[in-house]
Amino acid sequence: MILLALLAIALPGAGLVAWAFPERATTGADRALRISIALALGLGAWSAAYAAGRMMGVPTPAKDVLLVALGAALLFASRARPAATERTADAAPRWLWMLFFAACAVSIAAFAEHDWRFPDGGWDAWMIWNLRARFLVRDPDLRAAFSPDLLLWAHADYPWLIPGAVAQGFVLAGRETRLVPLAIAAEFGVLAVSVASLTATRLYGSRWGLLAALAILTLPAFPILVSNQQSDIPLGVYLACAGALIVLACARDERPARMLALAGFAAGLGAWTKNEGVLYAVCLALGLLVRTRDVRGTLAFAAGAVPAGLLLLGFKIFYAPANDLARLSTAASLIAHALDPLRWGELLVYALRRVVFFQSFALFLVAEVVALTVWVRRTPGTPLGTALILAVAAFAAIYVLQPHPLRWIFRTSVDRLILQLWPATVLATLLPLARTTART
C-alpha cells in the first residue's frame, strides 16, 4: 500500500512535468526544479484524487492505481524529447553559499524548536486542518467533517488538500502519529524555498537562486509558519509553482501552452488548498492575459485549473456550509464598509505598521516596498508581478468589506497571507532585477 501510494504521488507529478516541459533537463538545477514541481503537484493530485474518490465513493487503492496509470502514460508519451540548451549562469560567490548553509541550519533548528514547543502544531493546525484529517480518517461518513453544527472556528467550508494528504498518511502509517502532518509540513517548507530558488537559478544562475532562497529562509515568520502545519505554506508553494511555470513559459518565444496549462493545474491545486487560492488563480489568469495579450495561453492556463476547480465546485455545492464572510455580510454592510473612509484609513495604518513588523518579517517588507517603488516599477510589467499586485488590491478590498472587526481579522490573518504570497513575490522581485543587472 505504501509503495502504491508513493508511486501514485511520484508518477503523476513526474508525468505532468515531463508532458509540460518541451525539452529534457540538462543541468542539475533544472532537474531539481522539475523534481520540486513534480513533488508538489504529485502530492496535491494524490490528495485531490482522494477527495474526489471520497465524494464519489471510489476506494483509495483504485484511485491510486488510476493515478499510477495516468502518470506512467504521461511519462511514456513524453519520451524522446530533445535536450534543453544550457544558459550562461551567474555563479554565486563562495561566501553566499556559506550564508545559505547557515540560513538552512538556523531555519531547521527554529523549525524543530517551534515544533517541540507546540507539539500539536499551530492553533489553526488542530482547530482546522488536523481536526479535518481526524474526521476524514475516523468517520466513513464524509458529512460529519463538514457538519453545520461545527462552530465557525472549525471553518468547515475550507477545501481539504492538506487534511486529505494527512488523513491518507495516517491510514498508511497505521496510526495517527503526529509525524505525518509534521513531515508534510516540512516537505512543503522545503518546496517553498526550492521552487523559487531553482527557478531563479535556472534562468539567471546560482547567485540569484541563493538570493531567492535566503529571502525566504531568513524571513523570521517562515520556519514558524512551516512548523505550524497550516495550509498557508502549501498554498504559497502552489502559487510559486504556478508563477514559476508562467515565468518559464514567458521566457520562451513560443510561450508553450502545456507549461501554462500546468501552471493552471498548480493554481487549481492552490484553490483546493485554501479559499484564497481561487483569488490567486483568477489573478494569475488576469495577469497573464493583461501582460501577454495571449488569449490561447490564458485559455490553456484556465483549462489546467479545471480539474481542481470542478472538485472545489462539487465540494462547495454538495458538502461545504456557507463561508462566514459571505454568510455574515449583507448588501447594506458591504456598501457601508466600502464608503467608510475611516475603515480604509484604519486598514492603511495597520498595513503600514505590518511593513515594519520586525519580529515576523525583519527588514524584508521594508526592502520589498523600496525595491518595488524605486527599481522594479521602472522595469516592464510581468504576468506574475501584475497578478500579485491584483491579489494585494483584492485583499485590501476584502479586508474592508468583510463583516468581522477589522483589527481582529487583520491581525489574525495578515502574516499568513504575506507568507502565502512571499515565495512568488521573491521570484517576481528578483527576476526583473536579475534581468536588468545581467549586463552590469
Partner 1 sequence: MTRERITAVVAVLAVVGLLRSAWFHFVSEPRNDVRRERIDPRYVPLKALLPATGEVGYVCDVPMLPWPAGFDDSPVGNRMYEQAQYALAPLVLRYDDRRAPLVVANLADPARLPEVQKRTGLVLVAEPRPGTAVLRPP
Q: Which residues bind partner 1 (CB under 8 A)?
A: 90, 93, 96, 99, 102-103, 106-107, 109-110, 113-114, 116-120, 126-127, 130-131, 134-135, 138-139, 141, 144-145, 147, 149-154, 207, 211, 214-215, 217-220, 223, 358-359, 362-364, 367, 375, 404-405, 407-409, 411-412, 433-434, 436-438, 440
Instruction: Please give the Cα distance from 167 to 181 (Å, whole number).
Output: 9
* 117 φ/ψ sector (left φ>0, alpha ψ -120 to 50, else beta): alpha
Q: And the C-alpha cell for 414?
A: 495578515
Nearest distance from C-beta of residue 350 to partner 1, angstroms: 11
**Quick one: DSSP state of residue 1?**
-
- Nearer to partner 1 by Cβ, of 223 and 297: the residue is 223
- Nearer to partner 1 by Cβ, of 106 and 313: the residue is 106
Nearest distance from C-beta of residue 217 to partner 1, angstroms: 8
Q: For the chain, how far is it from start to end, CA to CA, in angstroms?
A: 55
- Nearer to partner 1 by Cβ, of 77 and 152: the residue is 152
Nearest distance from C-beta of residue 144 to partner 1, angstroms: 5
User: Residue 419: which of 234, 232, 159 has the closest Cα?
Assistant: 232
- Nearer to partner 1 by Cβ, of 82 and 140: the residue is 140
Nearest distance from C-beta of residue 100 to partner 1, angstroms: 9
Q: Cell numbers 502518470 correspond to what residue?
A: 71
Nearest distance from C-beta of residue 137 to partner 1, angstroms: 9
Nearest distance from C-beta of residue 351 to partner 1, angstroms: 16
Q: Are 38 and 10 in contact (CB under 8 A)?
A: yes
3-state helix, strand, coil in the chain (%, to 5): 80, 0, 20
- Nearer to partner 1 by Cβ, of 2 and 116: the residue is 116
- Nearer to partner 1 by Cβ, of 53 and 122: the residue is 122
Tell the burial category of 279 from Cβ atoms under 10 Å away from its Cβ (0-12, 13-18, 19+). middle
User: Residue 200: which of 356, 90, 287, 35 has the closest Cα?
Assistant: 90
